[in-house]
């Protein structure tokens, strides 16, 4: 057990919000557990999550010692689009988490990679071997995996330098007014819910740039929809989902940034990493891969009678 002590720098409507802002990496539920266990005090008294905090209040939290977790191989079905001695390109299905988190080290893409592939880079540590970049659990599509450290460093540099190009397809709620454009904002942790990302002032986040192009529009009863292509210039957490919300047209099926009630009996958002382009870390060859839209995505587009051309 270790203790985190700090003085509140400003007023907060709730003690749990103040603590969440301080404890990087703690989810809202993890912070709640600290309060439920009586492990948080304010000015020396055990506090409730809803306690109002004033600037200068002394907050103390007893935190459990971190548990080292090491991912183990698991025989999980995996769509390997391409692989050689240096890299592998994976078409990740919706519902599969990329790597362990919050104490859960089973049933992830990493577990599947350890079972299917002979080698993975070690730069990401024992929890994230081979993982150069990630896509959300309920987003499908392509990501590249490094099979050795040299390839990992090279691919990470390509992502940082924006020469690794990533294109997504998404179905948005409503009728997007413009046929295309660029969204430029700063994205950081939401001040009201630390599990979410949000558009924030420059001093609170990192710049995020997304190009979008309308591929098709549809109406079903009273509701309208827009099929879009998104090209990333940066790779912030939940970037497309946050930018879609910023446009006032959240991704269909996104119950975090959009409607709480999912439509079309979906299990997640209709967001798919369709195309991935990067330079091979050894040969220098420029490689481009595409992954077709998942069946459930195609079925929704058929129901909406959306005509589009992916190119």
Catalytic residues: 136
**Domain layout of the chain by residue ranges:** 2-63, 79-160, 165-304
CATH class of domain segment(s) 165-304: alpha beta
pLDDT of 205-223, one tens digit each? 999 999 999 999 999 999 9
pLDDT of residue 103: 55
pLDDT of 295-309, one tens digit each? 999 999 999 999 877
Q: Which residues of the chain have pLDDT under 50?
A: none
pLDDT of 152-192, one tens digit each? 999 999 998 999 999 999 999 999 999 999 999 999 989 88
Question: With b meaning 16 or more CB within 10 Å and e meaning fewer, what string describes 187-204?
Answer: bbbeeeebebbbbbeeee
pTM for the full model? 0.79
Domain 79-160 fold: Pseudouridine synthase (3.30.2350)
Domain 2-63 has CATH 3.10.310.30: no
pLDDT of residue 71: 79
């Amino acid at each position: 057990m270790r203790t985190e002590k700090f003085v509140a720098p400003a007023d907060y409507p709730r003690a749990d919000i103040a603590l969440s802002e301080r404890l990087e990496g703690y989810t809202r539920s993890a912070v709640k557990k600290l309060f439920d266990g009586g492990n948080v005090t304010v000015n020396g008294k055990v506090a409730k999550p809803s306690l109002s905090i004033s600037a200068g209040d002394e907050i103390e939290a007893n935190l459990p010692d971190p548990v080292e977790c090491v991912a183990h191989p698991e025989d999980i079905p995996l769509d390997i689009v391409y692989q050689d001695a240096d890299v592998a390109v994976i078409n990740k299905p919706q519902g599969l988490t990329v790597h362990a988190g919050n104490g859960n080290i089973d049933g992830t893409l990493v577990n599947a990679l350890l079972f299917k592939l002979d080698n993975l880079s070690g730069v990401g540590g024992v929890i994230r071997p081979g993982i150069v970049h990630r896509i959300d659990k309920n987003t499908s599509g392509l990501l590249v995996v490094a099979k050795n450290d040299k390839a990992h460093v090279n691919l990470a540099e390509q992502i940082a330098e924006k020469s690794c190009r990533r294109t997504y397809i998404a179905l948005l709620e409503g009728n997007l007014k413009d046929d295309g454009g660029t969204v430029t904002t700063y994205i950081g942790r939401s001040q009201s819910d630390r599990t979410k990302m949000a558009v924030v002032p420059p001093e609170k986040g990192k710049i995020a740039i997304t190009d979008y192009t309308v591929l098709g529009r549809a109406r079903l009863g009273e509701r309208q929809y827009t099929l879009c292509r998104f090209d990333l210039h940066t790779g912030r957490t939940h970037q497309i989902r946050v930018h879609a919300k910023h446009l006032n047209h959240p991704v269909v099926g996104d119950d975090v940034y959009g409607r709480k009630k999912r439509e079309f009996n979906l299990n997640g958002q209709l967001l798919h990493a369709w195309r991935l382009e990067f330079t091979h870390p050894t040969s220098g060859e420029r490689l481009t891969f595409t992954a077709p839209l998942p069946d459930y995505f195609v079925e929704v587009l058929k129901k909406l009678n959306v005509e589009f051309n992916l190119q």
